[in-house]
Amino acid sequence: MMQHTPLVDPFARAITYLRVSVTDRCDFRCVYCMAENMTFLPKRDLLTLEELDRLCSAFIRLGVRKLRITGGEPLVRRDIMTFFNAMGRHLDNGTLEELTLTTNGSQLEKFASGLYAAGVRRVNVSLDTLDNDKFARVTRWGRLDQVMRGLDAAQAAGLRVKINTVALKGFNEDELFALVAWCAARGMDLTFIEVMPMGDLGNEQRIDQYWSLKDVRARLAERYCLLDLAERTGGPARYVRLTETGQKIGFITPLSHNFCESCNRVRVTCTGEIYTCLGQEDRADLRAPLRAAPDDDAPLVAAIRDAVADKPKGHDFDYSRQRADGQVSRHMSHTGG
């Protein structure tokens, strides 16, 4: 029985949304996320595809209704479609409402139709600029035309696409209206993500390009009529509709406190660590209980329940405790609402 009682934290918040990273690897090296020479985790540290299946399935039995797959870049994980297809069974039997992913778009040309067949209906694609040179600069290894082909494939396959754009002063400020118009023309929603000024990224480029979303919003309001939407996702995103285009524009301000009371989510890293709060470093290990009992999910469920029982009431964003090696900013760039 205990195994099936829904997950509710001590502040009466039901946990219905799970974000799971399936790899720390990526085929891009975005300057705000990774150093150019990255050392990735040894394979044995990562949850296997079977372990990821057991983990996600346990959360779904415990009441998770939305599952978002992230990375690194989730589509560079070998055989990842096996995992998406396996999760499709939870969509088929109605226990899972939504299976989505956040991706850099580089592999969508190859995987879009397979994702649709697995039951994915929406994808978030991270894209900060529509300029070839700037795109190559910010992603280092990425090429814009590859992502554009991925977007074409995604839309041709029937996937709804939302673009996630990190707002960077002096980088894509001049593209605000171009991005909005491009998304409107393609029928895509657009969400801006605010980043905090971070320190040096491993002696690499310094990101001191803080562009406040208040300012983004004010500039949009100069040209469009913004209608606030009541819609809440249980996360940090706020949405408006542009009356002129009908398009939904989101704003993600990871530092805001004002969604804590409705927070419905936890996230799990590719090594099986569960983080129960966006802004705190508190975490617990789910890999050990997964591996300790390969045929019995009871220890895993107990560990999940313990972690959720400790979910903090709110976050304080104590940056002094966070590392300046890109972990935090990557998390933000993939917060995704």
Question: Which residues sit in the known binding site?
Answer: 19, 26, 30, 32-33, 68, 72, 102, 126, 162, 196, 260, 263, 265-267, 277
Return the amino acid letter for 31: V
Burial 67-105 (b: 16+ CB within 10 A, else e): bbbbbbbbbbbeebbebbebbbebbeeeebeebbbbbbb
Restricted to residues 41-100, the positions that interact with ligand SF4 (CB under 6 A) are: 71-73
Tell me if 286 sits within 8 A of 58, measured CB to CB. no
Residue nearer to ligand SF4 on the CB measure, 33 or 242: 33
- Kindly indicate which of the ranges 30-38, 82-90, 210-218, 309-317 contains the residues binding ligand SF4, using the contact rule CB under 6 A: 30-38
The interface mask with ligand SF4, positions 133-172, x = CB under 6 A, is ------x---------------------------------
3-state secondary structure 260-300: HHHCCEEEECCCCEEECCCCCCCEEECHHHHHHCCCCCHHH
**To 10 degrees, what angle do helices 49-61 and 298-309 make?**
60
DSSP states along 60-84? HHTT--EEEEESS-GGGSTTHHHHH
Residue nearer to ligand SF4 on the CB measure, 135 or 224: 135
34 binds ligand SF4, rule: CB under 6 A: yes
33 binds ligand SF4, rule: CB under 6 A: yes
Count of residues interacting with ligand SF4 (CB under 6 A): 14
128 binds ligand SF4, rule: CB under 6 A: no
Residue nearer to ligand SF4 on the CB measure, 21 or 276: 21
104 binds ligand SF4, rule: CB under 6 A: yes
Q: Give me the residue label for tokens 């595809």.
A: 49
Structure tokens at 30: 């975005």
Binding residues for ligand SF4 (CB under 6 A): 26, 28-30, 33-34, 71-73, 104, 126, 139, 330, 333
